[in-house]
Structure 1
Amino acid sequence: MAILFIYSETAHFGFVNYDDNLYVSQNQMVLSGVNRQSIVWASTAVVDSNWLPLTLISHMLDVSIYGSNIGGHHITNIMLHTLNVILLFVIVQLMTGNLIVSALTAALFAVHPVHVESVAWISERKDVLSTFFWMLALLSYLLYASKPRIVRHLCALCFFMLSLMSKPMAVTFPFVLLLFDFWPLKRFNFTHSTNEGKSAAWLIAEKIPFFIFSAILSFITYRIQIGSEEPFEAIPLVLRLKNALISYVKYIYMMVYPHGLSPLYPLQKAIPLSYVLLSVVLIAAVTIVSIKFVKKSPWLLVGWLFYLGTLFPVAGVVQIGLHSMADRYTYVPYIGLFLMLAMSLPKPKTRNQTSILISILLIVIIILSITSKKQVHYWKDDFTLFGRAAQVTKDNYVALYNIGTAYAIKGNFSLSKQYFNEAIRINPDYVHSYINLAYVLFNENRTADAIYFYSEAIKKNPLLYTALNGIGMAYMAEGKAVDAKRSFVMALNLNPYFSIARENLRDAETMRNKNEKH
């Protein structure tokens, strides 16, 4: 009921111009629905520097099922999130046998405001879908651990592979299995004095197939990302490390006090050393306390290492893009913190104490649900979403760029130019502002100005095939067919699937042939 209360209105929301165009609304293969050609394409396609064939196929299924009803995509996300909550409850119940712990962990996962982004955003289908298979893989492994059968082990491996094919963030799953082998499964035998449990070497060897697929997916992701428009090497390693350290602490703060959430948190070029040192102290303190109480309260160490480990791929050490952090990254990692919290609750000794504890927990869940409901509302359209981002963050040039884009789509070029220029002022290196500003100028017939801004974008990043296509169109408008053809060819060399550039190339060749005849 809480999930319906929070997310039901998303069924009336449309797409936002924030990756939804890449995954669904302007992706012709996805919009063609499920067919042989689209499935073959999804198996090798790279979208937004990611390989996630199952996620693309799930969007195709939505198109085949719901047609043009955008709300259907949101309904699927809600259904997957609901299934994830149920699976988490079952998993924690199997692990702990404690109904209150299971219910609280699942409830916090279901209603926490920081998870809104993963559910309310159509593009984050990859998050809820990958987690669905992740949960099934973990459930299969728990059944295998209770009664080892090769079929159960293979099921866990297959579900894990499906999770990886939905979102690469699942690569840490083998480490999670080792953590749960320690607690609550207690499969480790550290003393070898009894026949119970397995040696660490045996348990690691048992996970070798999982590690192999993690390594393969990590390599594929790395190769794709280094060829992306914003390779992580462009951001200094020291800055990435600093950002990663403070992000770990910020996410904990957001869990306790989910205020001022934003779809965009721009990466700051300068991070105060004092923030970094404070983060190191806090992380070290929790780690030391968890280790100290490992015998008495092993869930503290397991939950803490779960959080640190599952968040690591997106913590910022390998920084992709220009954001410092993102709400969606917490979807799985928060489970570790929720488990720590739920297991650490005082055990009531009387019926009255039980009633008081449940009442307090219900109040917390209600407050979080109301906060999440409000957060969901911000996802209804581009202006609301990015207006909120600009409001709760400082110098958010990405939010300003997206507001400018929304105005451009509406045909309000005057306002869109103001936002693009402000975004460029704040961050002159954010090339997408140049591209969209050039597009607006081109539509105002200011071709020379459009060529200038397209050229600036290309100078800053020669891999921008959209900018090459744009400048090619501007050259066409000026009758420069040879220059236009060269630009379109370069765009197609970078992205052979860029159908618009291919159509423009044919037009440029036709124009050049006409010019030669005259």
Structure 2
Amino acid sequence: MKCCSLREYLYPLFLIVAGFLVYYPILGNQLLDYWDDQWVVMNYYTESGINFANIWAILTEFYHGQYAPFNEYLYLFLYSIAGYDPTIFHLASLLLHIANACLVFYIFKKLLIMSNRISIEKIPIISFLTALIFVIHPFNVESVAWMSASKVLVYAFFYLLATYTFLIFLERKKGRYFALTLIFYVFSFLGKEQAVTFPLLMLLVYWLLHYKFNNKEVWITVIPFFVLSLFFGIITMLSQSPDGNTIFSNAESYPLWQRVVYACYSLTEYFFKCIFPFKLSYLYPFPSLPGEPLPTWLLVYPVLLVVIVLTLWKHLTRWPLAFGLLFFIIHIAVALHIISLSRFAVVADRYAYVSSIGIAFIVAYYFYRLYEVLSVGKKVVLLILFCIYLMYLGVYSNVRTRTWYNVDTLKKELRDLLKERNDYKEIYGDKNDE
């Protein structure tokens, strides 16, 4: 019993150590002057002090197409401690990311126990591996290392708290846990608009826990969250309409059929980069501008997705894979351009922060399942390969944290990416890196 109790503490402790080992370089990084940090982090709200008038203004005003008051409160609090000390700011981001990873562990542990779909002794290790992949994954570096993206961490923290309290509510049927779930959900949206997916996550949890959708209890609990999501969605559109390309603006946007094609492309990119991240960047520009014809190669993606779904349908509908994929799709859907929002990149690493958890679960579950059925010799080989995979994720993340050191290191990455284009010399000539 003591051994099991000790192991329960070792799992989150290992996540904390892994998080610091991978991300410690960001503690020496700078805030990005003459970049988004110049106005997102360093602004008059941050510098106006902790007082009622400023706190109210942050809560009730839109700022440059942004509405993330709880994220701005984080900046305000950190600035009140040490001014614009980048170490303090980056330490806060790192601690939030590690806290999120620990929440992932406890959420999946409780969720899998409640689902009664996996034998009890397997649950801690699968939950731990899911959280470990999440905490060291290179796709999450942008959210952790770029201070302007800290709203992703803030929203995810309250989002995961809401998920955990929702599970406790389902377990104990106490109204106070439902109230906490509502509160944490509101807080999550006040961190970032991606929180609007929470009602869909609730339905996914109900499905996993064997609830029937004709059960009144399901809809009585979920409908208030759908109403809030609709309200929050309108706020998001209004906040972005003066500055970006939304359905409430008159700016030129992609027609619906092109947005569907881009959605298929983005979904495919997010999925494969979650499994095996390669050539990650802080900028993935659209291959064409609104009003221009789509490159022919993009049309392959809708066909590819249809073929994959039809071919693997039986496997895709089985619970471990179905749950992980639906978790992934639910949380990435708002970033797939079906609804025209203020975005300038076809893919962005930070948008996959929460959705990557679904893919991490799939990898963790099927690794452990395969490990169980193999012979001893093959188990050793699989374990070595999996350790190499984890090392690849961790080392790649550690290297990418250094890309975010300052504006110059980011610009260098952009120049290197541009040089890989076939038309680089045609556009930029033989200019050097200055």
TM-score normalised according to structure 2 size: 0.83
Higher relative contact order (CA 8 A, sep 6+): 2
Give distance in 1, aligned partners of 2:187 and 2:148.
18
Change (3 A) 1:289 1:179: farther
2:169 to 144, 149, 152: 144
Conservation of the 8 A alpha-carbon contact between 1:181 and 1:187: yes
Matched, 1:227 2:245: no
Cα deviation, residue 281, structure 1: 3.4
Cα deviation, residue 391, structure 1: 1.5
- Residue 515 of structure 1 is matched in structure 2 by none
Conservation of the 8 A alpha-carbon contact between 2:240 and 2:341: no
Cα deviation, residue 359, structure 1: 4.0
Amino acid in structure 2 at the alignment position of 1:199: N
Deviations 1:292-342 (A, max 9, x none): 2467x3121222122222111111222423221101010011111222222
Matched, 1:267 2:291: no
Give distance in 1, aligned partners of 2:171 and 2:380.
33
Cα deviation, residue 71, structure 1: 1.3
Conservation of the 8 A alpha-carbon contact between 2:70 and 2:191: yes
Cα deviation, residue 355, structure 1: 5.7
Give distance in 2, aligned partners of 1:319 and 1:231.
4
SS in 2 for 1:299: helix
Cα deviation, residue 245, structure 1: 1.3
- Residue 92 of structure 2 is matched in structure 1 by 76
Deviations 1:150-205 (A, max 9, x none): 1111111111110001000110111011012111x2222xxxxxxxxx62554133
Conservation of the 8 A alpha-carbon contact between 2:261 and 2:301: no
Give distance in 2, aligned partners of 1:294 and 1:252.
14
Task: Please show how residues 21-36 of structure 1 align to structure 2 within 5 Å.
Answer: 21-25=38-42, 27-36=43-52
Change (3 A) 1:86 1:358: farther
Matched, 1:103 2:122: no
Amino acid in structure 1 at the alignment position of 2:332: L
Give distance in 2, aligned partners of 1:349 and 1:364.
20
Give distance in 2, aligned partners of 1:42 and 1:169.
19
Conservation of the 8 A alpha-carbon contact between 2:264 and 2:302: yes
Amino acid in structure 2 at the alignment position of 1:22: W
Give distance in 2, aligned partners of 1:331 and 1:161.
19
- Larger mean CA deviation between 353-362 and 163-172 belongs to 353-362
Amino acid in structure 2 at the alignment position of 1:205: I
Which stretches in structure 2 are left out of the alignment for 5+ residues?
A: 1-16, 114-122, 430-434
2:144 to 113, 119, 129: 119
Give distance in 2, aligned partners of 1:288 and 1:151.
44
Conservation of the 8 A alpha-carbon contact between 2:25 and 2:398: no
Q: Please report the RMSD computed on the Cα atoms of aligned residues, expressed in angstroms.
A: 2.5
- Residue 190 of structure 2 is matched in structure 1 by 165
Structure 1 consecutive aligned stretches of length 4 or more whose deviation exceeds 6 Å: none
Cα deviation, residue 288, structure 1: 4.4
Amino acid in structure 2 at the alignment position of 1:268: P
Change (3 A) 1:254 1:290: same
Give distance in 2, aligned partners of 1:38 and 1:303.
41
Larger Rg: 1
1:252 to 264, 267, 271: 271
SS in 2 for 1:174: helix
TM-score normalised according to structure 1 size: 0.70
Give distance in 1, aligned partners of 2:74 and 2:311.
43
SS in 2 for 1:234: coil
- Residue 53 of structure 1 is matched in structure 2 by 69
Conservation of the 8 A alpha-carbon contact between 1:231 and 1:320: yes
Matched, 1:218 2:218: no
Matched, 1:86 2:102: yes
Give distance in 2, aligned partners of 1:256 and 1:293.
18
Residues matched between the structures, number: 387
Conservation of the 8 A alpha-carbon contact between 2:162 and 2:185: yes
Conservation of the 8 A alpha-carbon contact between 1:86 and 1:106: yes
Which stretches in structure 1 are left out of the alignment for 5+ residues?
A: 189-197, 401-420, 424-518
Conservation of the 8 A alpha-carbon contact between 1:32 and 1:63: no
- Residue 259 of structure 2 is matched in structure 1 by 240
Change (3 A) 1:209 1:395: farther
Conservation of the 8 A alpha-carbon contact between 2:287 and 2:295: no
Amino acid in structure 2 at the alignment position of 1:42: I
Conservation of the 8 A alpha-carbon contact between 1:24 and 1:59: yes
Conservation of the 8 A alpha-carbon contact between 2:142 and 2:282: yes
1:301 to 316, 322, 328: 322
Give distance in 1, aligned partners of 2:181 and 2:310.
33
Give distance in 2, aligned partners of 1:262 and 1:149.
45
